[in-house]
A and B are shown apart, each in its own frame.
Chain A
Amino acid sequence: MSAPINEDAVNYAARRRWKLLLSGLLMALCWLQLQRVSDRLPAGRADLSEDRLASFSPAAKAILDQVDGSVTIEAFLTTSSQSGSVVVLMRRMLDQLDELERLGGGKVTVVVSDPSRSTEAQTRARALGIRPAVQDFTSGTRTVTEEIYLGVVVRHAGRSRTYGQLLPNNLEYALLQAVDDLSQPARRVLGWMPGADLATALAPARAQLSRRFDVRDVRGLESGVAVDADIDLIVLAGPRDLHPRAAYELERWLRAGGRMAVFADRTRLDLQTGLIEEIETGFGEQLKVFGLMPDRRVVWDRELPSRGTGGAEFYPMPLLTSAVDGAGGILPGHPIGAAQPQIWLQLVHPLKGVPAAGAPVPDVFLSSSDTAFQALPAGRLETGQRALKDELNTLLARTAPERFVLGATLVGELGRATDPVRAPAAAPLPGAPEPEGGWPPLERDARGEVEVSESRLVVIGDVNWLVPQSPGQPSGLAALLLENTVDWLAARPELIQLRSKQPTPRPLRDFEREAFEALDRESVLVNLSLSERRAIERSAGRARWGAIAAAFGGSLALLVGLFAIQRRPRVARVELADGRRGGQA
């Protein structure tokens, strides 16, 4: 005889099961919905990294705070793509634009349109000069070709700037630079003065500057014409035999609050023949007053990489000087060194001189390493290994290595330098009528127009870094140094700060160097014996394995410690229990 079935209990259990299932489903739906909502809501976000690379910097906020009126950013983005990579990329772009809009506090309006979906948006994008990038990618088993739009237009105060293609890594700098430029009452004017034989070679650098400045040739100075009053800054690139009257006018303008970059060379190298020609800048005496005159000698930096591909050894040579960030090289703390890991210089000349009384002290941003020599350039550059070795040995025997200044800045009232201002040479100069009573000193200008205010000056003892090695734009490093220079001259620290959003160099301890120093040798690496080199490698290898062992051993020690702590109470309990049992027995 079977037991009676409790129908109420069965129904209750069944109902309960259904309820539980439904609640499970409900929770799953809630989670999915929560994901979607959390994606759309503005995220609360804090960037705790030291470099602040993943968020907009305070400099961006400072630029936006200075803007009067509204800024409209119209983005033409392909928001829907069959490529997952493109979708992820667009998501990051949209996140950044959202963040910029929030940062603007109502000043910035972002309008996003998708030319891939709207014919009207496509027509507008094309009218603005925004062209899609054509990308092939694999979707399943098919190869798909898509047009990807990544263009942005920034509008402010009736003017606009168009970027045909932006990516998340350059979006912040590009947009904020555009906002900064557009918020200026008028486009800044940059005076361009290339050396007589360098106009063509430096055309790409000029083209680079013309994107941001109204670039104007500075002419007629040798005839006594003053620098145009509306010129904001001058780039004097590779001056050669500058007319004394022109040098005088430039100095006068600089002392009166001008802003100037001088990339001065004392040698020209013909790469085909190896012939080196010595030249005069015509502006050296002016730079000498500020302690920044390029010397006739060139710097021979021993810190050049001494190994080539395949372990082949090379002797350092004066043809190239690598100014690398670190000991010597570009000082990372200087604004002009912002985000600039390295620059390659050719036959660079050290800057020498003692600043005249009243002149500000130069601020060095570019130097050689501590182990550099200076050498007088020969008529022909010998690049053979034997010639280099001989030359290096001669230098080693003759001079002591030192650090040389290769680039420096000056900021302050340069007009107060009390060194007697030199009058241009008395020799007759074509087209340069000497004024009555001779050349007036700057402090006692006949027109009384010289007013002393803050000037800015950048000097680098080389111009070759600005010349592209192949047709096209200057190299990325050169373009960066040029941008940093003009931003510093224009006193736009915010833009430099934005550009300096690069990972801070975080080098590991150099065990090779430590081992080398432990040898107590002053010699360069090329003079080390094979056994010494092996000893250095062994020592560095041991140090590395020691670090690995410390980390791994530390982890194991902690695990063993945990194990001991976890076992101890139990052992004590067992011992206690055994003791009690023993006592009872």
Chain B
Amino acid sequence: MNRFLAVVRREALEPMEGAAFWVAGAVLAVLAHLTFFLVGVPFGARPFPGLFASGFASLDIAFAWAPTILAGLVPALTMGAWAEERRSGTEELLLTWPVSTLALVAGKFCGRLLSLVVLLLAVYLPMVAVVRWLGPLDLGTVFAASVGLLWMSAACVAIATLVSACTRDQLVAFLVSTLALLALLGLGLLARIAPGDLAERLWSASPQAHFLETGARGLVDTGDFVHGAGIVALCLGLTWVKIERRRVG
């Protein structure tokens, strides 16, 4: 357990050593505030303007943008998880540690997720405080959305970690992860034009069904947990397969 925690600590702090984390944080802060206060959501089934134009004390705009923002942010934080180790040759050293592959994979995942959560809190907490000051914000919905966002973030980190484990180039890891996460987002859009049965399956797998339709509306749903946990288990399992193959081979 101590070794697992050591891996978590190392992986949580490691992104902060590089400039990418802070650049990503600053970009996230600018984008999040720009979209929330000024741009709003100008597309989709329910377009709405920025916070002051809508005149409504709510974080709906931030929740609506959250999946898209995660699609760009998560790859930036996780692209180096395995790819950088492999490129710099430290992966071989890492795999000689007296730590099981599962603990390594899970530790890296938890560490990166932790660093993501810290970043999200730093960006969104002041926003919540300001909206609360501006009007009667529904904190129950904010809490439920935060739980939903946590499941979705975990799923995104797991996907990006898997992609990072499959390449030795950080840039490739970033691009492929971003595309993969955008594709996941696209499932919800595809569901609206796909034929019936396929539409249902696409919708079931989409973040829209498991975040925007539930958590963002104030619901904490076991279905969302199962969806997030399923993606995490699958991706971490495949990452484990990948790393274990390298360890064995």
- Contact A48–B218 (Cβ < 8 Å): yes
B248 at the interface (CB under 8 A from A): yes
**Quick one: which of B1-37 are within 8 Å of A by CB?**
13, 16-17, 22, 25-26, 29-30, 32-33, 36-37
Q: When A28-B234, A38-B226, A43-B222 are in contact, do A555 and B192 touch as well, CB less than 8 Å?
A: no
Provide the bound-state CA to CA distance between A53 and B139, in Å.
14
- Contact B16–A566 (Cβ < 8 Å): yes
- Contact A49–B140 (Cβ < 8 Å): yes
B93 at the interface (CB under 8 A from A): no
- Contact B204–A46 (Cβ < 8 Å): no
**Contact residue range for chain B?**
35 or more
Q: When A48-B143, A48-B219, A555-B29 are in contact, do A83 and B196 touch as well, CB less than 8 Å?
A: yes
A547 at the interface (CB under 8 A from B): yes
What residue of chain A has the Cβ atom nearest to residue B127's Cβ?
A551
Q: Which of these, B38, B124, B136, contacts A504 with CB under 8 Å?
A: B136
Pick out which of these stretches binds chain A: B83-91, B102-110, B166-174, B236-244.
B236-244
B55 at the interface (CB under 8 A from A): yes
**Quick one: which of A76-121 are within 8 Å of B by CB?**
80-88, 91
Cβ of A21: which chain B residues have Cβ within 8 Å of it?
A: 241
Provide the bound-state CA to CA distance between A38 and B191, in Å.
19
- Contact B233–A27 (Cβ < 8 Å): yes
Provide the bound-state CA to CA distance between A122 and B205, in Å.
32
Q: Which of these, B118, B130, B144, B227, contacts A550 with CB under 8 Å?
A: B130
Q: When A558-B122, A563-B22, A566-B13 are in contact, do A507 and B135 touch as well, CB less than 8 Å?
A: yes
Q: Which of these, B13, B26, B38, B238, contacts A559 with CB under 8 Å?
A: B26
Provide the bound-state CA to CA distance between A43 and B196, in Å.
23
Cβ of A507: which chain B residues have Cβ within 8 Å of it?
A: 55-57, 135
- Contact A508–B56 (Cβ < 8 Å): yes
B220 at the interface (CB under 8 A from A): yes
- Contact B237–A23 (Cβ < 8 Å): yes
- Contact A48–B193 (Cβ < 8 Å): no
Provide the bound-state CA to CA distance between A498 and B5, in Å.
50
Cβ of B133: which chain A residues have Cβ within 8 Å of it?
A: 509, 547
Q: Interface readout for A10-30 with B: 1 if CB under 8 Å, 0 if not?
A: 000100110011011001101
Tell me the smallest distance from the CB of A152 to a CB of chain B, in Å: 21
B123 at the interface (CB under 8 A from A): yes
- Contact A84–B191 (Cβ < 8 Å): yes
Cβ of A86: which chain B residues have Cβ within 8 Å of it?
A: 196
Provide the bound-state CA to CA distance between A557 and B126, in Å.
10
Tell me the smallest distance from the CB of A148 to a CB of chain B, in Å: 12
A580 at the interface (CB under 8 A from B): no
B92 at the interface (CB under 8 A from A): no
- Contact A50–B127 (Cβ < 8 Å): no
Tell me the smallest distance from the CB of A20 to a CB of chain B, in Å: 5
A390 at the interface (CB under 8 A from B): no
Q: When A48-B144, A87-B191 are in contact, do A508 and B196 touch as well, CB less than 8 Å?
A: no
A44 at the interface (CB under 8 A from B): yes
- Contact A544–B140 (Cβ < 8 Å): no
Cβ of B17: which chain A residues have Cβ within 8 Å of it?
A: 566
- Contact A509–B134 (Cβ < 8 Å): yes
Tell me the smallest distance from the CB of A402 to a CB of chain B, in Å: 28
- Contact A547–B134 (Cβ < 8 Å): yes
Tell me the smallest distance from the CB of B116 to a CB of chain A, in Å: 13
Q: Interface readout for B51-64 with A: 1 if CB under 8 Å, 0 if not?
A: 11001111000000
Tell me the smallest distance from the CB of B62 to a CB of chain A, in Å: 11
A387 at the interface (CB under 8 A from B): no
Cβ of A87: which chain B residues have Cβ within 8 Å of it?
A: 191, 196, 199-200, 203
**Quick one: which of A171-205 are within 8 Å of B by CB?**
none
- Contact A139–B193 (Cβ < 8 Å): yes
A548 at the interface (CB under 8 A from B): yes
Q: Which of these, B32, B124, B141, contacts A48 with CB under 8 Å?
A: B141
- Contact A20–B245 (Cβ < 8 Å): yes
Provide the bound-state CA to CA distance between A367 and B163, in Å.
63
- Contact B33–A552 (Cβ < 8 Å): yes
Cβ of B205: which chain A residues have Cβ within 8 Å of it?
A: 35
- Contact A50–B141 (Cβ < 8 Å): yes
Provide the bound-state CA to CA distance between A553 and B126, in Å.
8
Provide the bound-state CA to CA distance between A91 and B208, in Å.
14
Tell me the smallest distance from the CB of A114 to a CB of chain B, in Å: 12
- Contact B141–A49 (Cβ < 8 Å): yes
Q: When A43-B223, A551-B127 are in contact, do A13 and B122 touch as well, CB less than 8 Å?
A: no
A47 at the interface (CB under 8 A from B): yes
Cβ of A551: which chain B residues have Cβ within 8 Å of it?
A: 33, 36-37, 126-127, 129-131
Cβ of A20: which chain B residues have Cβ within 8 Å of it?
A: 241, 244-245
B249 at the interface (CB under 8 A from A): yes
- Contact A562–B16 (Cβ < 8 Å): yes
A531 at the interface (CB under 8 A from B): no
Q: Which of these, A504, A508, A555, contacts B122 with CB under 8 Å?
A: A555
Among A82, A84, A140, the most chain B Cβ lie within 10 Å of the Cβ of A84
Provide the bound-state CA to CA distance between A38 and B151, in Å.
15
Q: Interface readout for A68-82 with B: 1 if CB under 8 Å, 0 if not?
A: 000000000000111
- Contact A138–B193 (Cβ < 8 Å): yes
A39 at the interface (CB under 8 A from B): yes
Cβ of A13: which chain B residues have Cβ within 8 Å of it?
A: 248-249
Cβ of B136: which chain A residues have Cβ within 8 Å of it?
A: 504, 506
- Contact B122–A46 (Cβ < 8 Å): no
Cβ of A559: which chain B residues have Cβ within 8 Å of it?
A: 22, 25-26, 29, 119, 122-123
Provide the bound-state CA to CA distance between A23 and B131, in Å.
48
Q: When A48-B140, A88-B192, A551-B37 are in contact, do A53 and B126 touch as well, CB less than 8 Å?
A: no
Q: Which of these, A27, A85, A555, contacts B33 with CB under 8 Å?
A: A555
- Contact A24–B227 (Cβ < 8 Å): no
Tell me the smallest distance from the CB of B167 to a CB of chain A, in Å: 17
What residue of chain B has the Cβ atom nearest to residue A16's Cβ?
B248
- Contact A544–B192 (Cβ < 8 Å): no
Provide the bound-state CA to CA distance between A39 and B202, in Å.
12
Q: When A48-B143, A84-B191, A84-B193 are in contact, do A39 and B223 touch as well, CB less than 8 Å?
A: yes
- Contact A84–B192 (Cβ < 8 Å): yes
Tell me the smallest distance from the CB of A96 to a CB of chain B, in Å: 13
What residue of chain A has the Cβ atom nearest to residue B29's Cβ?
A555
Q: Interface readout for A400-432 with B: 1 if CB under 8 Å, 0 if not?
A: 000000000000000000000000000000000
**Quick one: which of A49-70 are within 8 Å of B by CB?**
49-51, 53-55
Q: When A50-B141, A506-B136 are in contact, do A555 and B193 touch as well, CB less than 8 Å?
A: no
Q: When A35-B227, A88-B203, A551-B33 are in contact, do A506 and B137 touch as well, CB less than 8 Å?
A: yes
Provide the bound-state CA to CA distance between A566 and B16, in Å.
7
- B residues touching A (Cβ–Cβ < 8 Å)? 13, 16-17, 22, 25-26, 29-30, 32-33, 36-38, 51-52, 55-58, 118-119, 121-127, 129-131, 133-141, 143-144, 190-197, 199-200, 202-205, 214, 217-223, 226-227, 230-231, 233-234, 237-238, 241, 244-245, 248-249
Can you show 21 pairs from A to B with CB atoms below 8 A apart?
A27-B234, A28-B238, A48-B140, A53-B218, A84-B190, A87-B196, A87-B203, A91-B203, A138-B193, A139-B193, A140-B193, A506-B58, A506-B138, A547-B133, A551-B33, A553-B126, A555-B123, A555-B126, A556-B26, A559-B25, A559-B119
- Besides A45-B221, A50-B141, 9 more A-B contacts (Cβ < 8 Å) are A21-B241, A23-B237, A38-B223, A50-B139, A55-B219, A84-B190, A507-B135, A555-B33, A558-B123
Closest 4 CB pairs of A and B: A49-B218, A554-B126, A84-B199, A38-B226
